[in-house]
Amino acid sequence: MEVEAFRKLYRESLEDYLARLFVPERLFRRMDDLAQLIRPAVAAESAFRLARFERAVTDQWQDPPARGGLQWANYPVHQMKRFIQKRAHFVRQQLDGKSRGMILQRPPREW
């Protein structure tokens, strides 16, 4: 990002993606179409998996369940529409200079 020409191209690409591709309503419609196609296969596996699937694709925000019992069964389901909506908002905030965002770094590897 230190190179002005690269920074300009990167920003133009992000602006384009936010305007054309990463549009929450557009993605939500596509997710609903795909969910409709795969829902029967998920339902055939189990009621438990279907409930988790429905939680992942809903547009109704839900709090994660309390932890306890089988550890893997109580992991929170990531609500994809919620992530998309929040991500689009925060990227827009950063591009508009209203947020600095967060720099993620991996800890150094110990060999």
pLDDT over 90 for what percent of the chain?
59
Least trusted range by pLDDT, from 32-36, 61-65, 99-103: 61-65
Global pTM value: 0.72
pLDDT recorded at residue 77: 76
- How far is 74 from 90, CA to CA, in rounded Å? 28
Half-sphere exposure (CA, 13 Å, Cβ side) for 3?
A: 4
pLDDT recorded at residue 98: 93
Query: What mean pLDDT, rounded, does the chain reach?
Result: 86
Q: Are 82 and 61 in contact (CB under 8 A)?
A: yes
Choose from 38-42, 56-60, 92-96 the range with maximum mean pLDDT: 38-42
Nearest residue to 55 (alpha-carbon basis) of 36, 35, 40, 77: 77
